[in-house]
């Protein structure tokens, strides 16, 4: 499988277990790597035979900006589920970064990584 990837998609969301996270919101960063057989698209130079990464980017941002959830695990699962609706995508890995997580010690980032495959 070939890989189509989006790195560093940024959106403001209101996810988290604490009231201030839900009220104030924060920036989330999402990376997506999609497994796609790009040969049919390349052979015909046809966008319809691959995944439109611009559409995927808009969908990811809409999910992050959408209905709040407590856990970034839930957010990652929602993103993966949406991406697998694209027929060309066989597998997707989603990394959700929460760089402003409410942690009391110095840190660079908090992430969750999920990999989901199309059901047979």
Alpha helices in the chain (DSSP H): 19-24, 39-44, 53-65, 72-83
d(CA 60, CA 78): 9
Check if the beta carbon of residue 73 is closer than 8 Å to that of residue 110: no
d(CA 115, CA 79): 11
Active site residues: 98
What is the C-alpha R_g of the chain? 16
């Amino acid at each position: 499988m070939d890989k189509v990837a989006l790195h560093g998609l940024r959106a403001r969301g209101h996810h988290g277990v604490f009231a201030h996270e839900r009220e104030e919101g924060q920036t989330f960063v999402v990376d997506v790597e999609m497994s796609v057989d790009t040969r049919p698209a390349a052979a015909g130079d046809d966008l319809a035979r691959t995944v439109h990464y611009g559409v995927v980017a808009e969908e990811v941002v809409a999910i992050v900006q959408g209905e709040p959830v407590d856990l970034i695990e839930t957010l990652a699962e929602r993103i993966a589920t949406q991406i697998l609706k694209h027929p060309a995508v066989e597998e997707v890995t989603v990394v959700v970064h929460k760089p402003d997580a409410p942690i009391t010690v110095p840190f660079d980032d908090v992430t969750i990584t999920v990999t989901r495959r199309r059901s047979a």
